[in-house]
């Protein structure tokens, strides 16, 4: 459900709504805990990397989510992270 709300695009009026922003913040908070120290969940969430990068300037938890996805994950050691760093 968290990914559904994050992927769902809304119009500009709703984006400025504090309740909507709180919902998205809570979704990212859930995802951070979902991937923390769980390799299988990191793989599942990693497939949505483009969505996180698209909104990285809108929510500070996205950086924490990316950190938790890539931390101690040997499978992603060879991944080209130039796009993420940019």
Q: What is the pLDDT of residue 81?
A: 62
Q: How would you label 47-80 residue by residue, b for 16+ Cβ within 10 Å and e otherwise?
A: ebbeebeeeeeebebbeebbebbbeeeeeeeeee
State the DSSP code for 79.
Answer: S
Domain regions of the chain by residue span: 2-85
Kindly report the length of the chain: 86
pTM: 0.80
Q: How many C-beta atoms lie closer than 10 Å to residue 35's C-beta?
A: 24
Q: What is the pLDDT of residue 77?
A: 66
Q: What is the pLDDT of residue 36?
A: 93
- pLDDT per residue of the chain (86 residues) written in tens, 0 to 9: 889 888 887 666 567 788 888 999 999 999 999 999 898 999 899 888 888 888 888 888 998 998 888 887 777 766 666 666 66
């Amino acid at each position: 459900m968290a990914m559904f709300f994050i992927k769902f695009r809304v119009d500009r009026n709703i984006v400025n709504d504090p309740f909507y922003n709180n919902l998205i913040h809570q979704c990212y908070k859930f995802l951070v805990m979902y991937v923390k120290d769980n390799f299988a969940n990191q793989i599942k969430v990693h497939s949505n990397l483009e969505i996180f990068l698209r909104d990285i300037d809108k929510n500070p938890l996205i950086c924490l989510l990316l950190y938790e996805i890539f931390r101690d994950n040997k499978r992603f050691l060879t991944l080209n992270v130039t796009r993420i760093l940019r």
